Structure 1
Amino acid sequence: MNFILLALTSILPLTQAVGNAIILNNCTDTTAYVWSVGSSIGKTQTLATGETFNEEFHYDSTTGGITLKITTERGGIYQNSPETDYAYTLDTNTSTVWYAISDVNGDPFANNTVALVPDQDSCVSYVWEDGVPPSGIHTASCSADGDIKLILCQEG
């Protein structure tokens, strides 16, 4: 019995708590379509107003990172539709997640506030008041044990 407890205690510290990439569709009358893309493209997730997408941070051994591609058109990533990309890379050696936000092929949430907000106060948030990315780089890092939420059409 003592051997089993000793074995479990030696394994438990190796287990790391990992946060989540979250997308909240707060847009009125706009459906958002989400694809999780790494070395393969995940199934389309449809988010109606008020719905949330949640994915635990994970590492893709082929690409190194994951991009959550969001459009307002069904099949949008296959049609070069405007998309917002929420990308992350999990570094399991340092328990760090690198995260970024950008738009490709246009700005699907123009005229609406888009906010990428970590739940840890010490981490950088990005808020696009008009739904259009300002110039510059929008990449930061944070402890991997917290959640980072992308809010589409954030209020106030």
Structure 2
Amino acid sequence: MRFAVASVLAFASSVTAVGNAIVVNSTPSTFYLWSVGGSVGPRQTIAAGGNYTEVLHRDAKTGGIAIKITKTADGLYTGAPTQQFSYSLDGAQVWYDLSATMGEPFNGQRVTVTANGGGTIDWPKGSNPGGSQVKVTSSDSNVVFTAYGPA
């Protein structure tokens, strides 16, 4: 019994609090997202004013997670412009960035990624303003992607 209690206490002390990856839709339109690591998660539909949350986690195959966002329901599979909000959990830290492939779905709309204690990624016009977009914060922080309505 003492061994079991000691093992549980040792395990509990090695587990650290982990934050969330959050996607906020502050646009007037619905968009769609998939959480992608070594496999593609189910499509999520995010209505205007809605949000999506997942616990920050590490993918066993790829290490990182890419939350892929399109404005069309089947966009991930049809080559639609895709916003990528990516993160990689690395022990006490989480690294995050923002990119776009196949075009910029939020062109003309502001998109940001924020985290307490970490840097902000800000694309005021929905396109990469240049420079490094990679930021880092404590793994117990929430990392929040927000898409805003047209300017």
Q: TM-score of the superposition, structure 2-length normalised? A: 0.92
Query: CA offsets, 1:69-99, max 9 Å, x none?
Result: 000011101111001100111112xx11111
- SS across alignment from 1:46: strand
Q: Percent identity between the aligned chains?
A: 34
Paired letter, 2:131: G
Contact 1:67 1:88 in 2 (8 A): yes
| Match runs of 1:4-23 below 5 Å | 6-23=6-23
Q: State the Cα distance separating 1:8 from its structure 2 match.
A: 4.0
Q: Of Structure 1 and Structure 2, which has the larger fraction of its residues in strand?
A: 2
Q: 1:155 to 1:79 in 2, by over 3 A?
A: closer
Alpha-carbon RMSD across the aligned residues, in angstroms, is 1.9
Deviates further, 31-40 or 126-135 = 126-135
| Match runs of 1:21-36 below 5 Å | 21-28=21-28, 30-36=29-35
Count of residue pairs the alignment pairs up: 151
Q: Residue 108 of structure 2 aligns with which residue?
A: 111
Q: Residue 86 of structure 1 aligns with which residue?
A: 85
Q: State the Cα distance separating 1:25 from its structure 2 match.
A: 0.6
Paired letter, 2:61: T
Contact 1:71 1:108 in 2 (8 A): yes
- CA distance in 2 between counterparts of 1:137 and 1:130 reads 17
- SS across alignment from 2:145: strand
Q: 1:3 to 1:63 in 2, by over 3 A?
A: closer
Q: TM-score of the superposition, structure 1-length normalised? A: 0.89
Give 5+ residue unaligned stretches, structure 1: none
Give 5+ residue unaligned stretches, structure 2: none
Q: Residue 59 of structure 2 aligns with which residue?
A: 60
- CA distance in 1 between counterparts of 2:43 and 2:119 reads 28
Which among 145, 149, 154 is matched to residue 144 of structure 2? Answer: 149
- SS across alignment from 1:153: strand
Q: State the Cα distance separating 1:10 from its structure 2 match.
A: 2.8
